[in-house]
Chains A and B, each alone.
Chain A
Amino acid sequence: MKFQFESFADFIAMNNHGPYVWAAYGITFVALIYLLVSPVVQKKAFFKQQQKLQKLAQSNPDGQGVE
């Protein structure tokens, strides 16, 4: 197994295929990061919202006006 390119600049250029290869990898990378971050953010938002509801319920034990 050896590095397939003469230099780092060669590696980036990929024999004129650089823009295609790097664009494909870039888009995929961004999409995968989105997949990973989005549920984490949603979970945080859920906990925040529920904590607010719990506080509201505590300050209003009869639950009047609180759904």
Chain B
Amino acid sequence: MAWQWFHRLGSPRWFYEKTNPWLPWLAVISIALIVTGAVWGLAFAPADYKQGNSYRIIYIHVPAAFLALAGYYIMAISGAVGLIWKMKLPFMVMKSAAPIGALLTFISLVTGSIWGKPTWGTWWEWDARITSMLILFFLYLGMIALQQAYQQRDTADKASAVLALVGMVNIPIIYKSVDWWNTLHQPATIKFTGKSTIDPSMLYPLLIMVIGFYCFYALVLLLYTRVEILRRESRTQWVNDLVANNK
């Protein structure tokens, strides 16, 4: 019976019903964390000794970039699971992850650009980190386009899953870009191995924002996936009952 949960996970209906009670919790937690982190980061964290107040953009730039990357993992892994075990649900998750990831990558590019102006004196630089993030953005856009390029649902899913997996090559490049090349972009602020290069008074609001963004991502991914489930299962009895009972 150990694998029962895995087979259930392939059932869109089970997923739809199971995730329903999670939504209000995720909404409350993510909004509370993001509001707390933003107020703390904007008003109560000390200014940076070098960059002044412009560094406060870090509190949205870094969480958005984290989720842009984590979202890509989720998309590619869902695609792989869908391809290997021929399950329906992972493909729905994969499709839903694409527009969310695209928008988060867009946020990290735009906030980075705005941050760059007062800090580096330029809006844009063809630096390794920025260029690899731009490629990530195009990969996400490619996923959205590919989903709509095929008449056959099955073909679209398989083709997008392959694109997502091939695009994985870009992820380590993004991570390592600040070490491999001599870039304008500053090195990582938070390190999982070794000491972070940020004072605790600045780190705590950043961690709160990162957790808040993770919760928000989970919430939005669930919302998008649930709509996708309804669309693809629109001919099934359980969705018809749901529609009939929804006044």
Binding site for B on A (CB under 8 A): 1-5, 11, 14-18, 20-21, 23-25, 27-28, 31-32, 34-36, 39-40, 42-43, 46-47, 50-51, 54
Contacts and interface: CB of A to CB of B under 8 A. Distances in A.
Contacts of A14: 52-54, 56
A28 B54 contact: no
Interface stretch (B77-85, B105-113, B144-152): B105-113
B111 A24 contact: yes
B64 A28 contact: yes
Contacts of A32: 34, 216
Contacts of B243: 47, 50-51, 54
Given A31-B106, A43-B227, A2 B220 contact: no
Contact of A24 (B43, B57, B216, B244): B57
Given A17-B54, A35-B216, A39-B220, 7 more contacts: A4-B47, A14-B53, A18-B53, A20-B115, A31-B103, A51-B243, A51-B246
A23 B230 CA distance: 37
A20 B44 contact: no
Interface of B: 34, 38, 40, 42-47, 52-54, 56-57, 60-61, 64, 100, 103, 106-107, 110-111, 114-115, 117-118, 201, 216, 219-220, 223-224, 226-227, 230-231, 234, 239-240, 243-244, 246
Contact of A54 (B115, B118, B223, B244): B244
Given A4-B44, A5-B43, A39 B227 contact: yes
B43 A28 contact: no
12 contacts: A3-B44, A4-B43, A4-B44, A15-B47, A16-B118, A17-B56, A21-B42, A21-B53, A21-B56, A27-B114, A32-B216, A34-B103
Interface secondary structure of B, over-half rule: helix
Contact of B231 (A3, A25, A46): A46
Given A4-B43, A14-B56, A20 B110 contact: no
The A contact surface, by secondary structure, is: helix
A3 B47 CA distance: 11
Contacts of B224: 39
A24 B60 CA distance: 8
A21 B46 contact: no
Report the 6 A-B pairs with minimum CB-CB distance, sorted nearest first.
Answer: A39-B223, A14-B53, A17-B54, A17-B53, A50-B243, A24-B111
B43 A54 contact: no
Contacts of B216: 32, 35
A39 B231 CA distance: 12
